[in-house]
Structure 1
Amino acid sequence: MLLLERDTFLSELRQWFDVAASGNGHLVFVAGEAGVGKTALVTAFGRMVEQEASPFYGACDPLSTPRPLGPLLDIAAQAGEGLRHVLEQDDHHQRALPAFHSFLARRAQPALVVIEDAHWADEATLDLLRFIGRRVASTRALMLVTYRDDEIGPRHPLRVVLGDLATSPTVRRMHLPPLSESAVRTLAAGTDFDPVELHRQTGGNPFFVTEVLAAGGQGIPLTVRDAVLARAARLPSAARAILDAAAVIGAYAETDLLSQVVSAEMSAVEDAVAGGMLLPRDNGYAFRHELARQTILDALSPTRRVTLHRAVLQALRAVGTGPDDLARLAHHAEEAGDREAVLAYAPAAAQRASSLGARREAAAQYERALRFAGDLDPVERAALLEGFALEAYHTDQMDRAIAARQEAVEIWRAAGNPRKVGENLCHLTRVLIMAGRNAEAKQAISEAVSVLESLPPGAELAFAYQVYAHFHMLDRDTDTAVTWGEKALELAERCQDEITVIAAYNTIGSALLVGGDMSGTGPLERSLQLALQAGQENHAAIAYTNLGSGLGEMHQFAEAIRWLEEGIAFTAERDLDTQRWYMCAWLALVRLYQGEWDAAVDAALDVTRRPGISAISRIMAFVALGRLRARRGDPDAWIALDEALEMARVTATLQRLAPVHAARAEAAWLAGDADRTLHEACAAYDLALHHRHIWFTGELAYWQWRAGARVTVPPWAGEPYRLQIEGDWAAAAECWREMNCPYEMARALAESDDEAALRQALDVFRDLGAAPMVAHVSRRLRAVGARGIPRGPRPSTRQHPAGLTRREAEVLDLMAQGLSNTEIAGRLYLSPKTVEHHVSSILTKLNVSSRHEAIRVAERRSGEPRASVGTGQPE
């Protein structure tokens, strides 16, 4: 096939290769729709630099459950014993990732690493891309990763990886567009095809075009499937049998395996190659394109497909397999309907995937086994259920994890094994808590403790005590949490249960801290120290999280920032994203209190825009976002606050409800709605009083007072709020100043009738861009007879060359990227009506009548061109 309209892309790859060869490695994501020519491009480039670089090629598997780290296994086979030895160890994938980076970093000669079809990547391979992408600069490697961008939606795991690496200066993006009509005309030269019609029907997709041309019939087939099958039908029957077998084997068919699955002369394989269906590759064969393989596979009759999968399974068993072949064996076993083989290979594949950090693949393998375990011995089925439940928990499939744990509990109950009943009830409690089903969680952990206390004490009971304590800590029931946490710690130390000891210190410290006892940082730091010493990175991440969020909840903002920033760096380095994003959400809240509003909104949006983020992280990020929008006077504050409330209600806990209702009370007060302010402030107040929560009680009482209600604030409530309710605005302002909370300090000053205090408050609010409070204080100054009250736009508006607000500038940027109002609304968590309002305001301020005119005017005023729209050029 001619490589048309790709010279620019080859030139760019050449430039990045030269940079990488000089010692500044790069990773390039090469995107495009299926069949657009990504493989042809990287293959051509490989030929360009084959005399200068060591090539390494790997591919992701299109199996129903892919091999963990499949591309790295391919590369290891080419790299030699060192890297292969690491991958053969039954260890966590964190060991393999540094080994691969070290392999690249110590090479004297430049390396070209190609990983194809990343849209099929397993979870561990995605970790590899994230890991290497952050460290490739220290190598002399150019790493090319191809993927189908038309197959990764907004929630696809690869989309998250692309977002994580978006700001890296050594990670590049390249998008291959379809061919132009002119290129199709070149390809169709000398044939009877109408190039205009060919381009229209194929959309310029090179694979579609070449397959249709290769079919050679009259006219253009309606689908690529017809073109592929017509081409295959012209092959001799023996060659077609080779295609069938190769399609079943997978994206790559080893020569030895192919010959065992189907008895055919080598000439039959040569016919398939000559016919353009297969390409020689290393010691085997691959289809010219995955679409061709899938077309052949789909055309097989069910009986023929099963027969071939059985033959592949038998051949794989005959040649001998290793741990990284388990996923492949399980796939063929299921397709062959071989129950015994599925139950032998799928659980083993699940355990291997779990050890490599590929949790979703592990869950899928356990699920595969369970589909064949209907009449399995109940105890054996319970083991599968436990494995699946654990992996489903880690991959945020809470409802399915709950169902699996509940079934396991009933099996062990029927088997008369109370220890296993208690153990599974403990795990069930944790999942129920994550799902926000706290009433059921309390029932489950209470039963677990009761069951396990009837047995001789052991590690299971220590675990139950810790989970019971953790449940009460989350509910802010400090005394109960500490009591049970100490019981867990004492028993765990007797049983030498290191993990429960670490968790118990964490729970005790967290309970003390959020109960207002700053000594709680001691046990938390002890938990962190023990976790780091034991190599328990996940428990260390939880300790960082609870130190940062707990201190933030207690308004110890300087200390909170220290732990949050340290924890975020720790988790980012190790790709522990669940804890990382929760800390990022809390950092957004803390930055908001510290007056760093731009940093706060950036951090909050970074969390809310990501797919697959846990509910608790999203709640806190939406609280920060909604509160900030309300303080700035943005009309869309309630969108964020409504979403936060919907999620918080499910948890039914003070920890989530109080900050949400406090933020909603403030937003209502800023909007001048006293009735709604009082309603929101009362919604979680009794719960805060019951748990004697210092800051939740103080703030909710404060908003009741601001709504005009008479409220008696307890003496132990947050001091600045209590002082404001008592009328001592000066002392309250000083408290807020010492805590470096400028907005809250100015709000206290604004409660005065003193002109100097009001002017000081006005200056703070104007600097922050707090439009509603600027208006409020201006009215108060006029009421006390002040003159010369400043007017004019807030600083964020004055700074924009076109006079736009920050939000309007964000909308204009997305307009320039070609997004519709609905798409902009989804990106910024606004309503389409709000976006329409912003667009109208932008057009008015720029004195233009269309979106395109607005983009051009903004470019002229700012001196910086906006992103191009629909150019079809590389990103």
Structure 2
Amino acid sequence: MNLLERAAPLQQLLEWSREAEAGKGRLVLLAGEAGVGKTVFLRDWAGRLDRGNRVLLGGCDPLSTPRPLGPLLDIASVLGGEFERRLLTTERRELIFQHFLSVLTQGRHAHTVIFEDVHWADDATLDLLRFLGRRLDQSRTLLIASYRDDEVGPRHPLRAVIGDLATSQAARRLVLSPLSREAVRLLAEAHHIDPSLLYQKTEGNPFYVTEVIASGVDRVPPTVLDAVLARAARLSPPAREILDAAAVIGTRSEPWLLEQLLPDRVEATDECLNGGVLQAQEGRLTFRHELARQAILDSLAPPQRLVLHRRVLQALQAHPHSGDAARLADHAEAAHDTQAVLEYASLAARQAITFKAHREACAQLARVLRHAQKLAPAERAGLLEEYAEQCWITDQPDEALQARQAALRLWQETGRRNREGEALAHLARVLVGMGRNAEAEEASLRSLAALGERPPEAGLAFAYGCQAHLRMLNRDNHQAVHWGQQAVDLAQQHHDRSTLVLALNTVGTAMLLDQNEEGRAFLERSLALARDAQLDDHVALAYRMLSSVAGELYQFARADQYFEEGLRYCAEHDIDGHRFYMLAWQALSHLYQGRWTQATEVALSVAGRPGTAATSRIMALVALGRVRTRRGDPEVWDVLDEALAMARQTGTLQRLAPVRAARAEAAWLAGDLHRVQEEAQAVYGLACDHQHPWFVGELAYWQWKAGHAPSTAPEMAPPFALQIAGRWDAAALEWERLNCPYEAARAYAESAHELALKHALRTFEGLGARPAATQMRQQLRELGVKGVPRGPRSSTRANPANVTPREIQVLHLVRQGLRDAEIARELGLSTKTAGHHVSSLLSKLSVRNRTEAVREGVRLGLLPPGEPEDDR
């Protein structure tokens, strides 16, 4: 079939190819539903390239558990040499990523790389896409990643990668749509098929259309399965045997393997190729589409599939270097071979962990556990602990908790109190991560009791560290240092580098929170040790604590320095968990320093991302809620209500205090003094118990503003104490020293002097703080000040079109080229609601289309400068 209705996307892809050859590397995300013709489209496009342009093709397979870095394994044999050796022998995937990047960027030749079907990609491959997408813009590489957009929902791992690459200079999007009714009519009439019925049944899906036409029947089959089977029915029995075996082998079948299963079937294989049900591609036999393979596979009776899987497994086991562990584990389980499952799935899990393909490691360990009933209790407990760790990393806290509890029961059955104690400490870490702090406290104490019965060993160091971590999270800083120092001493005795790094981190954090600058040395040592040991996650954790603690103590200049270093490190090493927490705190730093546009943009990049950790999301929502409060934007209570619900689950001061303070401020600007008092008082006692001067100070301040100043309080942060004492001038100077212009203006606003009040008004107006500016004008008029301006016209405000933060978020997605349905998936909205937001944007910006909206958004400062993606 000729490529109908593909001229425009072909031209676009050729243009991006030319840009890449000129040194502006591109990562193209090629989307389309299953069967829309992405593979055919790419082959046609590749055929139009210069003959000297080599295309490196790798794919992701629909195994029940994908093989880590599958596309690189496909490409390795083509690149050969040093790259293939490193891929097969290097244990650190970061080195593999760097070496592959160097292959693409060194030399004078341009490179074209295609990763097909990345909706099936493993974690390591997705991280590779993220890694390359952030670094290709200065190369001569065109990387195309195709995927089924109808299978990538809001929580699909690929969705997060697409979101992360949205701001990349290299990233582009291309969507292949189904054929139009007219195109289907042309094809149908040429083969004497009812065009209306064909379009109704296929909805323009090219694969289904061609299968119906090729099926040779004079009617339109009701399903793809029927069309494929009608085509297969015309094969001879030997050819059908080849087709069945190929379906069981997988997406790509090696000729030697088919020959091993079905000897002397050369003519039958040729019949499959000539009939178009199989095709030859790079030395292997493939189906025209995975839908066709699945249709053949589904048509096989279970006993027939079982026999074929057993024969495939035996052939792969007998052939050296014939298949990776993930593939062997897949066939082993389908063949009901328990011993082989235990061997190959365990090996596949270890390989996946090495490549940080944690979802795949999790799935392989789950496969092992399904077949582990006859293993000894201690061995099963060890497997459960490995599985729990991978579940935790992949954000499956409920599964992680169940696995930790099951491992604990097994250790209790064996009577090994040391392993029981270690299991309890790990259980506590899971529980606190789920916001179940009371249960975590209980588990931690039980852990200390069990491990304290024996001479001190490495497991006790971890238990000490766990208790220190709990105390630090709850801002019991003195106790955190006590327990953490014990963890440090014991970890050093047992040369436990990982526990030592974490314990130093906790001790340093607690000391800094207690206003003890000596804690910085502990954190810096934790950072240095983690770097030396190449513990990348621990390095990022050190930056996370250094930056967020500085923010919590209003040391924003210092925080910004750590944000810069930490975010750069996380980007270089693709560590997104800690990166998003730092971004949430960076949004708060922007907020306090008066950079509200940046605060909104950064906060939305965290809050708008599916699957963001609760701790990161809470702080991003606080930043977003406070910006909206201070600007007088809508949707304030939506985000603050969500933040409170999440903070309550943690039960910790460090989450509850910022949320309650933000809510008190929102109530104050709304004129609801009763609610101001209610919000500020809710966790004031908790802040006093933990003697946190900044939390105590702000919560006491809002109670004072509501007319209910606390009668007694522990030490407060100086600017709040000065304001409550009526020393607005000294407080304003302190806020200015801290570079908090809004807080300084709020202090000036507490004066009775005209000059101070006018200074506050100018600051509020400059920041775009409409509610505070309105209150200030009213206050000046009440004092009898003449000539008080009525306020800036809407055209001179910071947001001249009065675009809401939600509409700004939509505008960013419009800039990325997303349509209404994609915007809806990104934001968790209905397509209709997303369409309303887009229409509202066009109206407010007085533009005719999306491209003009992006340009106007850049002109007005609603978007950062840059080339609008719709025009690319």
TM category (shorter chain) comes to over 0.9
Query: Can you list the C-alpha shifts for 1:193-241, whole angstroms capped at 9, x where unaligned?
Result: 1334423432222111111111121221121111011111111111111
CA contact (8 A) 1:238 1:264 kept: no
CA contact (8 A) 2:68 2:125 kept: yes
1:133-282 matches, cutoff 5 A: 133-263=133-263, 265-282=265-282
Code of the aligned partner of 2:330: H
Code of the aligned partner of 2:34: A
Whether 2:71 is the aligned partner of 1:71: answer: yes
Paired with 2:694 and 2:305, the residues of 1 have a C-alpha distance of 65
Alignment partner, residue 867 of structure 2: none
Alignment partner, residue 104 of structure 1: 104
1:129 Cα shift?
0.9
| Alpha-carbon spacing, 1:139–1:645, altered in 2? closer, same or farther (3 Å) | same
Greater Cα offset, 585-594 or 39-48 = 39-48
1:381 Cα shift?
0.9
Alignment partner, residue 320 of structure 2: 320
Code of the aligned partner of 1:601: T
Alignment TM-score, normalising by the size of structure 2: 0.94
1:713 Cα shift?
5.1
1:590 Cα shift?
0.9
1:404 Cα shift?
0.8
Whether 2:721 is the aligned partner of 1:722: answer: yes
1:715 Cα shift?
5.6
Greater Cα offset, 240-249 or 368-377 = 368-377
1:53 Cα shift?
1.3
Alignment partner, residue 626 of structure 1: 625
Code of the aligned partner of 1:209: V
1:842 Cα shift?
8.4
1:485 Cα shift?
1.0
1:240-389 matches, cutoff 5 A: 240-263=240-263, 265-321=265-321, 325-389=324-388
CA contact (8 A) 1:42 1:144 kept: no
Whether 2:444 is the aligned partner of 1:418: answer: no
| Alpha-carbon spacing, 1:829–1:673, altered in 2? closer, same or farther (3 Å) | farther
Alignment partner, residue 480 of structure 2: 481
| Alpha-carbon spacing, 1:863–1:169, altered in 2? closer, same or farther (3 Å) | closer
SS in 1 for 2:89: coil
Paired with 2:801 and 2:633, the residues of 1 have a C-alpha distance of 19
1:839 Cα shift?
7.4
Greater Cα offset, 514-523 or 527-536 = 514-523
SS in 1 for 2:676: helix
SS in 2 for 1:763: helix
1:743-762 matches, cutoff 5 A: 743-762=742-761
1:768 Cα shift?
1.1
SS in 2 for 1:285: strand
CA contact (8 A) 1:766 1:795 kept: no
Code of the aligned partner of 1:399: D
Q: How many equivalent pairs are there? A: 864
1:571-582 matches, cutoff 5 A: 571-582=570-581
CA contact (8 A) 1:176 1:874 kept: no
SS in 2 for 1:792: coil
Return 5+ residue gaps in structure 1 as ranges: 868-872
1:538-553 matches, cutoff 5 A: 538-553=537-552
1:179 Cα shift?
1.9
Alignment partner, residue 776 of structure 2: 777
Alignment partner, residue 870 of structure 1: none
CA contact (8 A) 1:808 1:839 kept: no
1:797 Cα shift?
5.8
1:297 Cα shift?
1.1
Paired with 1:681 and 1:536, the residues of 2 have a C-alpha distance of 41
Code of the aligned partner of 1:376: L
1:792 Cα shift?
3.4
1:790-805 matches, cutoff 5 A: 790-793=789-792, 798=797
1:701-850 matches, cutoff 5 A: 701-712=700-711, 714=713, 716-793=715-792, 798=797, 827=827
| Alpha-carbon spacing, 1:825–1:363, altered in 2? closer, same or farther (3 Å) | closer
| Alpha-carbon spacing, 1:831–1:645, altered in 2? closer, same or farther (3 Å) | farther
1:17 Cα shift?
2.3
Paired with 1:599 and 1:757, the residues of 2 have a C-alpha distance of 28
Taking only aligned residues, the RMSD between alpha carbons, in angstroms, comes to 2.9
CA contact (8 A) 2:696 2:714 kept: no
Paired with 2:505 and 2:427, the residues of 1 have a C-alpha distance of 20
| Alpha-carbon spacing, 1:831–1:693, altered in 2? closer, same or farther (3 Å) | farther
CA contact (8 A) 1:584 1:604 kept: yes
Paired with 2:842 and 2:214, the residues of 1 have a C-alpha distance of 52
Query: Can you list the C-alpha shifts for 1:817-839, whole angstroms capped at 9, x where unaligned?
Result: 89779977983999999998997
Query: Can you list the C-alpha shifts for 1:846-869, whole angstroms capped at 9, x where unaligned?
Result: 89xxxx9798997999899999xx
1:352-751 matches, cutoff 5 A: 352-712=351-711, 714=713, 716-751=715-750
1:794 Cα shift?
6.4
Query: Can you list the C-alpha shifts for 1:357-389, whole angstroms capped at 9, x where unaligned?
Result: 100100010011111223332122112101101
Return 5+ residue gaps in structure 2 as ranges: 864-869
Greater Cα offset, 132-141 or 773-782 = 132-141
Paired with 1:155 and 1:362, the residues of 2 have a C-alpha distance of 19
CA contact (8 A) 2:154 2:825 kept: no
Query: Can you list the C-alpha shifts for 1:28-49, whole angstroms capped at 9, x where unaligned?
Result: 2221111111111211222222
Paired with 2:388 and 2:290, the residues of 1 have a C-alpha distance of 34
Greater Cα offset, 96-105 or 584-593 = 96-105
1:92 Cα shift?
2.6
Greater Cα offset, 529-538 or 705-714 = 705-714
1:721 Cα shift?
0.8
Paired with 2:510 and 2:24, the residues of 1 have a C-alpha distance of 48
Alignment partner, residue 84 of structure 1: 84
1:6-17 matches, cutoff 5 A: 6-17=6-17
Query: Can you list the C-alpha shifts for 1:108-147, whole angstroms capped at 9, x where unaligned?
Result: 3332211111111110001111111122234432222211
1:16-55 matches, cutoff 5 A: 16-49=16-49, 51-55=51-55
Paired with 1:160 and 1:809, the residues of 2 have a C-alpha distance of 20
SS in 2 for 1:137: coil
1:616 Cα shift?
0.3
Code of the aligned partner of 1:622: L
Paired with 1:562 and 1:841, the residues of 2 have a C-alpha distance of 36
Code of the aligned partner of 1:621: A
CA contact (8 A) 1:513 1:520 kept: yes
CA contact (8 A) 2:745 2:764 kept: yes
CA contact (8 A) 1:175 1:874 kept: no
1:50 Cα shift?
5.5
| Alpha-carbon spacing, 1:594–1:26, altered in 2? closer, same or farther (3 Å) | same
Alignment TM-score, normalising by the size of structure 1: 0.93
Paired with 2:834 and 2:555, the residues of 1 have a C-alpha distance of 36
